Structure 1
């Protein structure tokens, strides 16, 4: 009888440990939305990137504290003029199916991202490569693109102009390698299901229950597997704020983000971490809407919103009312080594409801409207978005007598509506992809894949080209500052705030970092107590 009791006790302990990986082998993270896409050459959203962080690795990879370190390339050389980069791949690196990873795989992936038929919104990320933009716009053939396979372990890349941050750029998901044989086999289902993914990274995807969870397992073929300390990772997809908090309290997830309101209950609690996540949030205007295409109308909408009140009263002080598009404190430095934003003399319009009312009347008259037409604002239904949108709605009602309709929806639907230009206004945000101010400031380039509002300004486009066409820091910084000035004066978007995000982290989780650039998390030092 005693033996039976002991065996039952051991069984119960094993089951309870298995529920949340209490054995120290499984880490569980709440992903608040289903990824839009995890296909490396197509993915644009943060959630898709959080998946790709596990199953893909490029020539370089994210390191600690926002740095970039060798990945599948052990080293690289740069020519004296900065136009030619040569990457040397590690010995014996393999895909998760055992196939060797070669320089050709990188050429395959990069050309696929640039192929017009792929319709990648992030194709412009590869435009620094010689003739890449021309190929993407069908002006030259793929053979003219400056990507050369010297041998299986050596990739040579020729650039249009010097790009001092190119070694961090190749860590971005659009630059991931592609196994052509696997891609041809999976076809249109490539990276849409667990068994349609192939890993070059630290983990393989074992299971994907859409809308529910994604399960990952340590990749034994990963070159640095010896330093991967966690055997299994599970992403739970829990969009509802209360449900995700309950899942954390019930030890069903180890990490979840929480709303500013929920954070009140954890003030001073060591489980809560608050981090600047490198994102800027704004009102995205559709310039195909004749009313919103009027500058005075856009100015009126922004000036009617008290951004300080939004941060202090709605977000409980978490975040900063934005004066520039580029956030502070994310490692982007000016010529004097100070934060880039400190050198920007212009600032987005301040709160002034009296002037806003005057500008709105003038703008409506210019477009032939007697009243502000009926409009809607799209927003994600997760996180703080709903209370922020309601605050904006009330500010516009109170200060401009505008009745703005709110359309909460899933992230998937919002992305779809934005890409189709099917909206009036969107409450949207943007996080930087690599450590340079242009990762924010090229967002509204006329031909850019993420210019969802259809803003067009030849001067803006020319300045973006200048920034990307030289490594002269004085020339680059002057142009970047001018870009901030155009955004402040011309308002392709109405900049609202820079976000500070709150997370709950179980005490057994060690080494997890929260990154403001190139994704939300750094898993390189992750371990479980």
Structure 2
């Protein structure tokens, strides 16, 4: 089977790329970032001037990256470019397992708290500077600095002193990351974290050349000032139109990089990018939903898991969703299978739980199988629950309900389908409201939306990543819900060193989330990619970003 590219153009159902877990702004949200799904003006992609002897891969990033500053570009449209321009201490390998990146090796203390990383002697920046431990110290403290306002900062809370610094209750000196010498980095964690090496593959933990950043804080904004330490360097950047990457000859593993260049177009229209694929102007493309039935079974199509969930949030501070039974009634009135089969299409799977498939348990199973289906389509139960909930609240009729979604054709189609299902199953009228992404994200964060669309893309490969979004005061909560028992389960699900027991905490937390039903799962994300003949070696990670280090084009 041909190896196919994980290409995330959020404009369609093929996964948005976002995760970001607990974060959703940064212009485009990592988790809510179905930004790619937002249809905007189509940009005309310029042809790449190629040397006939060069290997040039032509891809589509959909839209302009939010930022190529690793602390700010915490979203799908920034992660893929960043993951190929830069490299952290660890990097996902061919099996999507955290392996050595800039760090050649590391030691972990017996108590699981202290990590000592040994950086490669031949790890350099594209300008020839060596990558040193201070580059990581600078980057991570910059991310955690409250003045940076990084959406990724919560990921640094695993480091001792990280949360206090970010919350303004501590100083940068309290953050336990230390450059022992140029090539040795020591990190002390707040609690044992078994998935820390995987966490470090997230672009938020990429280094920043501290000397370059000191001279030019906007080093990341233009190609001529950008310094890379990954497989590729930024050769040119025509904003909102295209980016061209060139092989980074200073990269420590440059011999493994086969491509000479990668050209990223920025075409935020599924039909246009598909037409470009058909004419050979793109080497990969997503399938327009209206062509799914026709193309989905083709030999050049890959369908794979992608760690993420589309769901609707309830605002429990607004009527009628302060009532648990009414929330449950809405959840049981929705036919997820029909949404997957007839609306979203492209092989997506309906979601009967919150954590997406693909997370391996300590016993070798799948987390999703272990906790099973937690919600189903059951119109009879939905009707009964609605009646009981209305009686508890003294309602003769349900208060008006408004379902809000961020603008895109697909989001509209899903919302209209859910609207019809709620009418058919419960006999209630729901008003739809669409808003542009930035307005929508701010309103949702401020608890101004009653019932609203959401999406989540995992930041790292552990079930706690989604579940932690709903702890009290989490930036990602956006429901008004607070539950001390849930908070404790998530705390244990992060710090427990016995992995079997840790997963039990996470199972219990997901069941509690389903019982409270503060959110309604709809469908899991997946990766659907068309890829041209001759393109191979692109790594597509179920939780992560696509990797072009080993890509080739014949």
TM-score, structure 1 as length reference:
0.88
Name the stretch that deviates more: 132-141 or 507-516: 132-141
Q: Name which structure has the greater RCO, CA cutoff 8 Å, separation 6+.
A: 2
Offset at residue 369 of structure 1 (A): 8.3
User: Aligned runs of 1:75-224 on 2, under 5 Å?
Assistant: 75-187=105-217, 189=218, 191-195=220-224, 197-224=226-253
Name the stretch that deviates more: 119-128 or 33-42: 33-42
**Cα distance in 1 for residues equivalent to 2:395 and 2:228:** 56
The 3-state SS of whatever aligns with 1:66 is coil
**Cα distance in 2 for residues equivalent to 1:367 and 1:209:** 60
Offset at residue 71 of structure 1 (A): 0.7
Q: Judge conservation of contact 2:104–2:119 (CA < 8 Å) in 1.
A: yes
**Cα distance in 2 for residues equivalent to 1:173 and 1:106:** 12
Q: Deviations over 1:115-160 (max 9, x none)?
A: 1222222212122212222222223222222212110000011112
Q: Judge conservation of contact 1:28–1:235 (CA < 8 Å) in 2.
A: yes
Q: Deviations over 1:202-248 (max 9, x none)?
A: 22223333433222222222222221111111222222221121111
1:486 aligns with 2:486: no
RMSD of equivalent CA atoms:
2.6
**Cα distance in 2 for residues equivalent to 1:122 and 1:498:** 23
1:523 aligns with 2:545: no
Q: Judge conservation of contact 2:231–2:253 (CA < 8 Å) in 1.
A: yes
Within the candidate set 427, 434, 454, 1:428 is matched to 454
Q: Judge conservation of contact 2:405–2:411 (CA < 8 Å) in 1.
A: no
In structure 2, the residue matched to 1:254 is 283
Offset at residue 395 of structure 1 (A): 1.8
The 3-state SS of whatever aligns with 1:258 is coil
Offset at residue 526 of structure 1 (A): 0.4
Name the stretch that deviates more: 230-239 or 292-301: 292-301
Q: Judge conservation of contact 1:76–1:88 (CA < 8 Å) in 2.
A: yes
Q: Judge conservation of contact 1:259–1:502 (CA < 8 Å) in 2.
A: no
1:286 aligns with 2:311: no
CA, structure 1 residues 208+290, in 2 after alignment: closer, same or farther (shift >3 Å)?
farther
In structure 2, the residue matched to 1:239 is 268
CA, structure 1 residues 473+18, in 2 after alignment: closer, same or farther (shift >3 Å)?
closer
In structure 2, the residue matched to 1:401 is 428
1:441 aligns with 2:467: yes
1:379 aligns with 2:368: no
The 3-state SS of whatever aligns with 1:87 is strand
1:36 aligns with 2:90: no
The 3-state SS of whatever aligns with 2:158 is coil
In structure 2, the residue matched to 1:457 is 483
In structure 2, the residue matched to 1:336 is 363
CA, structure 1 residues 286+30, in 2 after alignment: closer, same or farther (shift >3 Å)?
farther
**Cα distance in 1 for residues equivalent to 2:440 and 2:476:** 13
**Cα distance in 2 for residues equivalent to 1:455 and 1:35:** 32
Aligned length: 507
In structure 2, the residue matched to 1:471 is 497
CA, structure 1 residues 63+239, in 2 after alignment: closer, same or farther (shift >3 Å)?
same
**Cα distance in 2 for residues equivalent to 1:477 and 1:380:** 37
**Cα distance in 2 for residues equivalent to 1:426 and 1:293:** 15
In structure 2, the residue matched to 1:3 is none
**Cα distance in 1 for residues equivalent to 2:340 and 2:475:** 30
The 3-state SS of whatever aligns with 2:87 is coil
Q: Deviations over 1:432-457 (max 9, x none)?
A: 22222112221222233333444322
CA, structure 1 residues 523+284, in 2 after alignment: closer, same or farther (shift >3 Å)?
farther
**Cα distance in 2 for residues equivalent to 1:312 and 1:333:** 27
Q: Judge conservation of contact 1:285–1:426 (CA < 8 Å) in 2.
A: yes
In structure 1, the residue matched to 2:10 is none
Q: Deviations over 1:458-496 (max 9, x none)?
A: 222111111122211133112101111112111232111
The 3-state SS of whatever aligns with 1:205 is strand
Name the stretch that deviates more: 496-505 or 423-432: 423-432
CA, structure 1 residues 276+307, in 2 after alignment: closer, same or farther (shift >3 Å)?
same
The 3-state SS of whatever aligns with 1:404 is strand
Q: Judge conservation of contact 2:231–2:549 (CA < 8 Å) in 1.
A: no
1:57 aligns with 2:87: yes
In structure 1, the residue matched to 2:354 is 325
Q: Judge conservation of contact 1:431–1:516 (CA < 8 Å) in 2.
A: no
Name the stretch that deviates more: 163-172 or 135-144: 135-144
Offset at residue 351 of structure 1 (A): 1.5
Q: Deviations over 1:160-183 (max 9, x none)?
A: 222222222111111111223332
The 3-state SS of whatever aligns with 1:204 is strand
The 3-state SS of whatever aligns with 1:273 is strand
Larger Rg: 1
CA, structure 1 residues 53+412, in 2 after alignment: closer, same or farther (shift >3 Å)?
farther
CA, structure 1 residues 440+236, in 2 after alignment: closer, same or farther (shift >3 Å)?
same
